[in-house]
Structure 1
Amino acid sequence: MKTPNNSKTKAQVWVVENGEKCLRQDQLTTEEPLEIRLTSPSRTVAITMRTPGADFELAAGFLFSEGVIRNKEDIQKMSYCTDESVDGEQRYNIINVQLQMGINPNLQPLERHFYTNSACGVCGKASIEALRLQGYAKITSNLTVKPEIIYSLSEKLRSHQGIFTATGGLHAAAVFDAQGKMLHLQEDVGRHNALDKLIGRALLSNELPFSNHIVMVSGRSSFEILQKSVVAGVPIVCSVSAPSSLAVFVAQEFGITLIGFLRGERFNIYTGWERLSISE
Structure 2
Amino acid sequence: MTTRQPVLRLRAGRAAQRPDTLAIEEPLIVRVGGENVTLTMRTPGQDFDLVAGWLVSEGVVAAPADIVAMRMCQDEENTVEVRLAPDVAPPRPRAFATTSACGVCGADSVEAVRTSLRWPILGDDARFDVGVLSALPDLLRSEQKIFDRTGGLHAAGLFTSTGECLVVREDVGRHNAVDKVVGSALRGGRLPLAGHVLQVSGRASFELVHKAAVAGIPVIAAVSAPSSLAVDLAAECGLTLLGFVRGGGMNVYTHQERVRVGPFPRQRNVS
Scaled by the length of structure 2, what TM-score is found? 0.91
The question of whether the paired residues in 2 share the 8 Å contact of 1:152 and 1:264 is answered with no
Equivalents in 2 of 1:263, 1:128: separation in Å?
A: 32
Residue 33 (1) aligns with residue 27 (2): yes
**Of the candidates 194, 198, 219, which is equivalent to residue 236 of structure 1?**
219
Three-state SS of the structure 2 residue aligned to 1:261 is: strand
The answer as to 2:193 corresponding to 1:210 is yes
Question: Relative to structure 2, which stretch is displaced further, 10-19 or 181-190?
Answer: 10-19
Match of 1:104 among 58, 78, 89: 89
TM-superposed deviation, 1:48: 0.7
Using a 3 Å threshold, how does the CA distance of structure 1 residues 125 and 273 change in structure 2: closer, same or farther?
farther
Cα 1:126–1:138, aligned 2, differ >3 Å: closer, same or farther? farther
Matched, 1:94 2:79: yes
1:116 counterpart residue number: 98
Alpha-carbon distance in 2 for matches of 1:104, 1:230:
21
> Deviation of residue 183 (structure 1)?
1.2
- Counterpart in the other structure of 2:133: 150
User: 2:18 — aligned with what?
Assistant: 24
1:150-202 deviation per Cα after TM superposition (whole angstroms, max 9, x unaligned): 11011111111000001000000001111111111000000110010001011
C-alpha distance after superposition, 1:95-120 (max 9, x if no partner): 00011223323x34x637x4111112
| Structure 2: unaligned runs, 5 residues or longer | 264-271
- Matches of 2:10 and 2:155 in 1, distance apart? 29
Cα distance in 1 for partners of 2:13, 2:250 equals: 40
Describe the shift of the 1:124–1:94 C-alpha distance in structure 2 as closer, same or farther (beyond 3 A): closer
* Paired residue secondary structure (2:181): helix
Q: Decide which moves more: 48-57 or 141-150.
A: 141-150
One-letter identity of the residue aligned with 1:198: V
Quote the Cα distance in structure 2 between the aligned partners of 1:71 and 1:173. 21
Tell me what 1:43 maps to. Answer: 35
Q: Which amino acid aligns with 2:101?
A: A
Q: What is the RMSD computed on CA atoms of the aligned residues?
A: 1.9
In percent, how many aligned pairs have the same letter? 42
Alpha-carbon spacing, 1:137–1:143, altered in 2? closer, same or farther (3 Å) = closer
Q: Distance in 2 between matches of 1:187 and 1:172?
A: 4
Could you tell me the TM-score, scaled by structure 1's length? Answer: 0.88
Aligned residue in 1 for 2:6: 12
**Would you tell me which structure has more helix in proportion to its own residues?**
1
1:216-264 alpha-carbon deviations (Å, 9 max, x no partner):
0111111111111111111110001111111111101100000001112
Count of residue pairs the alignment pairs up: 262
Among candidates 32, 42, 45, match of residue 53 of structure 1: 45
User: Quick one: which amino acid aligns to residue 116 of structure 1?
Assistant: T
Amino acid of the structure 2 residue aligned with 1:34: L
Measured after TM superposition, the shift of residue 16 of structure 1 is 1.1
Closer, same or farther: CA 69–191 of 1 in aligned 2, 3 Å: same
Q: Post-superposition shift, 1:209?
A: 1.5
Q: Could you tell me whether the CA contact under 8 Å between 1:151 and 1:265 is conserved in 2? A: yes
Q: 1:136 to 1:22 in 2, by over 3 A?
A: same
- Once the 2 structures are TM-superposed, how far is the Cα of residue 82 of structure 1 from its aligned partner? 2.5
Where structure 1 has 5 or more consecutive residues not aligned to the other structure, the ranges are 1-6
In 2, distance between residues paired with 1:80 and 1:240? 34
Query: Which amino acid in 1 is paired with 2:24?
Result: T
Structure 1 residues 134 and 111 mapped into 2: Cα distance closer, same or farther (>3 Å)? Answer: farther
Q: How far does residue 126 in structure 1 lie from its aligned partner after superposition?
A: 2.8
CA contact 1:120–1:222 (8 Å) conserved in 2: no
In structure 1, distance between residues paired with 2:257 and 2:80: 42
Q: Which residue of 2 aligns with 1:3?
A: none
Q: 1:201 to 1:223 in 2, by over 3 A?
A: same
SS in 2 for 1:267: strand
Q: Are the structure 2 counterparts of residues 152 and 53 from structure 1 closer, same or farther at C-alpha, using a change threshold of 3 Å?
A: same
Amino acid at match of 1:79: R
Q: 1:99 to 1:129 in 2, by over 3 A?
A: closer
